Each structure stands twice: as structure tokens, then as C-alpha cells.
Amino acid sequence: MNYVVIKCGGSVFEQLTPSFYQDIVAIQEQGEWQPIIVHGGGPLISQLLAQTGVKTSFIDGLRVTTDEVLDVVEMALSGAMNKGIVRKLAEANGKAIGISGIDGNLLETKPFSENTALGFVGEVTKVNTSLIDAFGKQDLIPVISPIGMDANGQRYNINADMAASAVAQALGAKLCYISDIPGIYHEIDGEKHVFHQLNESKIEELINQDVIKDGMIPKVQSALEALHQDVLEVSIVDGTKEHGLAEFMQGKEIGTRISLTKEVPYV
């Protein structure tokens, strides 16, 4: 079975059109690709933390996660966000199943680093691919919340980009990051020139030129790391464009496709 892992950050969900969910259902129905959604939910987590009065902070872009914070994170991700996506897919006449990385030991996890100040922030050590295969055989679209668990039953908050990459690596899948921008682009005289194809050397060049900067740097670096670990292709696609995901899967020049060596046209 050919898989495409579709990663959606929490900040983009409010901007997605109904066509986005329709495209996911259509991709599955066409039979060539089995879609899997891995989602974040940062804005909702921050909102719930504020409402509950639970204090939080960040170290190097990762949320410091105490047990108290983790209760709220799990409520937001595995509860509201996860089931909301399942409902949207149902409205598009799709069949989805919402799970977290804890269910069926889907995402085996260990601490992200030896920096204990981060608390219960984890990274994936193993993906239970047989569980995903079983869902696919039942024509279900898995919607995965990035909460993992270790052998002792300890929960961990996993960065959604990293969780999506781990799932794609385990399945040898395509990895598609859904964004609210048209892809990686260079703005010249107020006009966005999108790079529809980038390779490793061109990405390094664009980082040095400060074209790729800020939060896009770790995203492209994680994309390259995934490609070195057998992911078929990594891309960044504008989920707010009407039927943009479907056009991307049809091979049209939508978004940015990242590969290791493929020649890149001049932009």
C-alpha cells in the first residue's frame, strides 16, 4: 500500500476550506494512495492553558511539558482537535478514525533529550505500522494525535512535524506539510516566486542567502532528514487553495517538492 502522510499544524486549520477534506477522501477513494493525517494544535493548547491557569514556557521552540501541562495538551490534541478533524472528514463523506500515539502503542516514545527541563517532551522510537495497515484495509483514514508513550506507560508530548516524519519514515511514505503559504518562495518587488522543486544543495544555498529563514529552517531540515531515512518525497502545500491538495497529488506545480538530488530549475 502506498501512503501519504499529511501533516497539519494547529494554526492552519481555521483557514482550510471544505475542499481540503474532500480532497483527502477523494485521494483514498481513488485507491492509489492511502492518506494519513498527523495534526498539531498549538493555538488551542495555548488557549486551554490560559483558561485553566496552567503556566507554560518554551525552550528552543519546544513546549516545556509537565504532567499538568500534559493533561491539557492531551485534552486539546486527542480530544477537541482530533475528533474535530474526524467530523470534517465525515462531512466530506469519508470514514476516519481518530487515535493518539498511545492507542495500540502506535508511537513508542522516549525523552527528546537529556535536558530534563523540557519535561515530558518525546521523540518517536518505533511506529506500529501493522495498526496503520489494519486501518487501511478497513478503508479508514487514520487521524493521529502526537501523544506518545514509553514502555512504562509515561505519556509524552511529541512535536507534530517530528511525529509526521517518523510515521512517514516507518512507512516509506510521501510526507506533505500543509501550510497557509504557497510553498517556499522568494519575494521580489512584492511578488512571490515559488520554488516548485528544491534539492539539498539549493536549500543550503537559500538558507545562506536568508531566503529560507526563521521557522522554515527547521521544517526544511527535518524534510531533508526524512528523505535520508527513506521517505519518498517531502513537500509543502498550501491547504487554503481550493483543491490544492488534489492538484498537488496529480503532479501539478503546486507548493514545493523537496528531494535530495533532483535538478532544480532556476527561479
Task: State pLDDT tens for residues 46-67.
Answer: 999 999 999 888 887 778 899 9
Q: Is residue 251 part of a domain?
A: yes
Lowest-confidence pick of 12-16, 30-34, 74-78: 12-16
> Contact 106/78 with Cβ under 8 angstroms?
no
Average pLDDT in the 171-199 region?
Answer: 90
Question: 138 pLDDT exceeds 60?
Answer: yes
Q: How many domains does the chain have?
A: 1
Please count the other Cβ atoms lying within 10 Å of the Cβ belonging to residue 235. Answer: 23
* pLDDT recorded at residue 61: 75
d(CA 91, CA 77): 20
> Contact 145/78 with Cβ under 8 angstroms?
yes
At 15, which CATH number?
3.40.1160.10
Q: Is residue 267 part of a domain?
A: no
Q: Is residue 265 part of a domain?
A: no
Q: Is residue 264 part of a domain?
A: no
Question: 96 pLDDT exceeds 90?
Answer: yes
Average pLDDT in the 174-192 region?
Answer: 89
Task: Residue 74: give the domain boundaries.
Answer: 3-258
With cell 503556566, the residue in question is: 55
Question: 228 pLDDT exceeds 60?
Answer: yes
* pLDDT recorded at residue 237: 92
* pLDDT recorded at residue 267: 45
pLDDT by residue (tens digit) across 145-163?
Answer: 999 999 999 999 998 988 9
* pLDDT recorded at residue 264: 53
pLDDT confidence tier of residue 266, bands split at 50, 70 and 90: very low
Average pLDDT in the 20-45 region?
Answer: 95
Question: 263 pLDDT exceeds 70?
Answer: no
Q: Is residue 203 part of a domain?
A: yes
Q: Is residue 201 part of a domain?
A: yes
* pLDDT recorded at residue 102: 97
Q: Is residue 79 part of a domain?
A: yes
Q: Comparing 13 with 71, which gets the higher pLDDT? A: 71
Q: Is residue 263 part of a domain?
A: no
> Contact 61/53 with Cβ under 8 angstroms?
no
Average model confidence (pLDDT) across the chain: 91
The beta strands (E) that lie in 9-106 are given as 34-39, 58-59, 62-63, 96-100
pLDDT confidence tier of residue 42, bands split at 50, 70 and 90: confident
Phi/psi region, residue 158 (left: phi>0; alpha: psi -120 to 50; beta: rest), is beta
Average pLDDT in the 180-184 region?
Answer: 89
Percent of the chain past pLDDT 70, that is, above it, reads: 98
Instruction: Look up the pTM and report it.
Output: 0.91
d(CA 250, CA 252): 6
